[in-house]
Amino acid sequence: MRALKLLVIVLGVLLLAGIGALATAVIWRINHAAAPSAARPAAPFVRRIALPPGAKVIGTDVEGGHLVVRVDMPNGGVRVLVLDLATGAPIATIEVAPTSP
């Protein structure tokens, strides 16, 4: 019975020590939180993409920092434009043209 009382006391002390350590860690993180950076966001840019008359944008996707634009061309083909999202610079242009029978 005496060993059981000692075990309960030891576990109680460990429980209180754990709660105290947790509270100390939370208070320390609140007081030492990183200040939000005052860095200015990058200025937005405007990038114009000239499409031939009759062309239609049929879809866009964003993947890995790139903007992929699918354009339905008036001649029946499809043009896929890949642009860098950070700079707006074109990375690739893929022409998918219909084959003649």
Intra-chain end-to-end CA distance of the chain, in Å: 95
Q: Is the Cβ–Cβ distance between 15 and 23 less than 8 Å?
A: no
Tell me, what's the pLDDT at 91?
92
Which single residue is written with the structure tokens 């029978």? 101
Tell me, what's the pLDDT at 74?
87
Mean pLDDT (10-residue bins), the chain, 101 residues: 93 96 93 69 75 92 91 90 88 84 63
This prediction's pTM: 0.53
Tell me, what's the pLDDT at 39?
61
